A and B are shown apart, each in its own frame.
Chain A
Amino acid sequence: MARRSAVIGIGQTDYRKQLEVTLDGLVRWAALEAVADAGLTLADIDAVVIGKAPDALEGVMMPELSLCDALGAVGKPIHRVHTAGSVGASTAITGATLVESGRYERVLVVCYEKQSEGNATWALSGGRSGGQGAGGTFAPWIREYIRRSKAPEHIGWMVAVKDRRNALKNPHAHLHLPDITIDKVKESPMLWDPLHFLESCPSSDGAAAVVIASEDVARRAPHPPAWIIAHAKRTEFSSFPGRDTVRIQAGLDCAEALYKKAGITNPIEQIDCAELYVPFSWYEPMWLEGHLITPEGEGWKLTEAGETELGGRFPVNMSGGVLSSNAIGASGLIRCLEAASQVRGTAGDYQVDGARVALGHAYGGAAQYFAMWIVSSEIAPTF
Chain B
Amino acid sequence: MAFPSREVAIVATSQTPSYRHFDGPEPVLIMRCVNDLLATTGLERDDLEFTIAGSCDYLSGLPFAFVQNIDGVGAWPPVYETHVEMDGAWALFEAWLRLQLGDIDVALVIGSGKSSPGHPREAFPLQTDPYVLAPLGLDPVSLAGIQARCLIDAGKATERDFAAVASRNRRDAMGNPNAQVTGDRSVDDLLKEAYVCEPLRRHDLPPISDGAAALVLVAGPRARDLVERPAWVTGMDHRIESHHPGLRDLTTSPSTALAASGAGVGDGPVDVAELTVTYSPEEIVLREALGLGDGVAVNPSGGPLAGHPVMATGLIRVIEVANRIMAGSAQRGVAHASSGPALQQNLVCVLQGGE
Interface residues of A (CB under 8 A from B): 1-3, 22-23, 54-62, 64-69, 73-84, 90, 93-94, 97-98, 100-103, 123-124, 126-127, 232-238, 240, 249-250, 253-254, 257, 365-366, 368
Q: A77-B238, A234-B80 are in contact. Are A126 and B127 (CB under 8 A)?
A: no
* Stretch among B128-136, B152-160, B315-323 lining the A interface: B128-136
Q: A69-B243, A233-B82, A253-B77 are in contact. Are A97 and B62 (CB under 8 A)?
A: no
Contacting pair A62 B127 (CB below 8 A) = yes
Contacting pair A74 B241 (CB below 8 A) = yes
Contacting pair A2 B102 (CB below 8 A) = yes
Q: How large is the interface on B (under 10, 10 to 19, 20 to 34, 35 or more residues)?
A: 35 or more
Instruction: Tell me which residues from 79 to 115 in chain B have a Cβ below 8 Å from any Cβ of chain A.
Output: 79-86, 90, 93-94, 97-98, 100-103
* A256 shortest CB reach to chain B, Å: 11
Q: A61-B58, A66-B130, A102-B5 are in contact. Are A365 and B82 (CB under 8 A)?
A: no
Q: Which residues of A are found within 8 Å of B84, using beta-carbon distances? A: 79-82
With both beta carbons as reference points, the residue of chain B lying nearest to A124 in the complex is identified as: B63
Bound Cα distance from A90 to B128, whole angstroms: 25
Contacting pair A65 B243 (CB below 8 A) = yes
Contacting pair B67 A365 (CB below 8 A) = yes
With both beta carbons as reference points, the residue of chain A lying nearest to B258 in the complex is identified as: A75
A-B contact pairs, 30 of them (CB 8 A): A2-B102, A55-B56, A56-B63, A59-B126, A59-B130, A61-B126, A61-B127, A62-B85, A65-B341, A66-B127, A66-B133, A67-B243, A75-B239, A78-B240, A79-B84, A81-B82, A82-B66, A82-B84, A83-B83, A94-B82, A94-B94, A97-B101, A98-B97, A127-B63, A236-B70, A236-B76, A237-B71, A238-B68, A238-B71, A250-B78
Q: A82-B83, A83-B82 are in contact. Are A58 and B130 (CB under 8 A)?
A: yes
Bound Cα distance from A62 to B94, whole angstroms: 17
Q: Mark B125-147, 1 if CB is under 8 A from A, else 0.
A: 01111110110000000000000
Q: Which residues of B are found within 8 Å of A76, using beta-carbon distances? A: 239-240
Contacting pair B81 A235 (CB below 8 A) = yes
Residue from A77, A82, A83, A253 in contact with B78 in the complex, judged by beta carbons closer than 8 Å:
A253
* B260 shortest CB reach to chain A, Å: 13
Q: Which residues of A are found within 8 Å of B339, using beta-carbon distances? A: 62, 65
Instruction: Tell me which residues from 29 to 44 in chain B have a Cβ below 8 Å from any Cβ of chain A.
Output: none
Q: Which residues of A are found within 8 Å of B100, using beta-carbon distances? A: 2, 100-103
Instruction: Tell me which residues from 46 to 85 in chain B have a Cβ below 8 Å from any Cβ of chain A.
Output: 51, 56-58, 61-64, 66-68, 70-71, 75-85
Bound Cα distance from A237 to B70, whole angstroms: 7
Q: Does B123 make an interface contact (CB < 8 A)?
A: yes
Contacting pair A2 B76 (CB below 8 A) = no
Q: Which residues of A are found within 8 Å of B131, using beta-carbon distances? A: 22
With both beta carbons as reference points, the residue of chain A lying nearest to B93 in the complex is identified as: A79
* B176 shortest CB reach to chain A, Å: 28
Q: Mark B282-305, 1 if CB is under 8 A from A, else 0.
A: 000000000000000000000000
Q: Which residues of B are found within 8 Å of A103, using beta-carbon distances? A: 3-4, 97, 100
With both beta carbons as reference points, the residue of chain B lying nearest to A83 in the complex is identified as: B83
Q: Mark B218-243, 1 if CB is under 8 A from A, else 0.
A: 00000000000000000001111111
Q: Which residues of A are found within 8 Å of B341, using beta-carbon distances? A: 65
Q: A55-B85, A126-B63, A127-B62 are in contact. Are A61 and B243 (CB under 8 A)?
A: no
Q: Which residues of A are found within 8 Å of B242, using beta-carbon distances? A: 68-69, 74
Residue from A54, A101, A249 in contact with B57 in the complex, judged by beta carbons closer than 8 Å:
A54
Bound Cα distance from A254 to B1, whole angstroms: 29
Which of A56, A66, A83 counts the most B-chain CB atoms under 10 A from its CB? A66
* A343 shortest CB reach to chain B, Å: 22
Contacting pair A78 B243 (CB below 8 A) = no
Nearest first, the 9 A-B pairs at minimum CB distance are A250-B78, A54-B63, A101-B97, A2-B101, A101-B100, A82-B85, A235-B81, A61-B126, A236-B78
Q: Does B354 make an interface contact (CB < 8 A)?
A: no
Bound Cα distance from A232 to B244, whole angstroms: 37
Q: Does B124 make an interface contact (CB < 8 A)?
A: yes
Contacting pair A55 B78 (CB below 8 A) = no
With both beta carbons as reference points, the residue of chain B lying nearest to A48 in the complex is identified as: B240
With both beta carbons as reference points, the residue of chain A lying nearest to B5 in the complex is identified as: A102
Contacting pair B64 A365 (CB below 8 A) = yes
Bound Cα distance from A381 to B102, whole angstroms: 21
Bound Cα distance from A366 to B75, whole angstroms: 14
Q: A66-B243, A75-B241 are in contact. Are A102 and B126 (CB under 8 A)?
A: no
Residue from B58, B80, B101 in contact with A56 in the complex, judged by beta carbons closer than 8 Å:
B58
Contacting pair A249 B240 (CB below 8 A) = no
Instruction: Tell me which residues from 299 to 355 in chain B have a Cβ below 8 Å from any Cβ of chain A.
Output: 339-341, 344-345
Bound Cα distance from A78 to B83, whole angstroms: 15
Q: Which residues of A are found within 8 Å of B75, using beta-carbon distances? A: 235-237
Contacting pair B86 A62 (CB below 8 A) = yes
Residue from A56, A75, A83 in contact with B255 in the complex, judged by beta carbons closer than 8 Å:
A75
Q: Which residues of A are found within 8 Å of B103, using beta-carbon distances? A: 2
* B121 shortest CB reach to chain A, Å: 13
Q: Which residues of B are found within 8 Å of A235, using beta-carbon distances? A: 51, 70, 75, 78-82
Q: A2-B102, A97-B98, A234-B78 are in contact. Are A102 and B63 (CB under 8 A)?
A: no
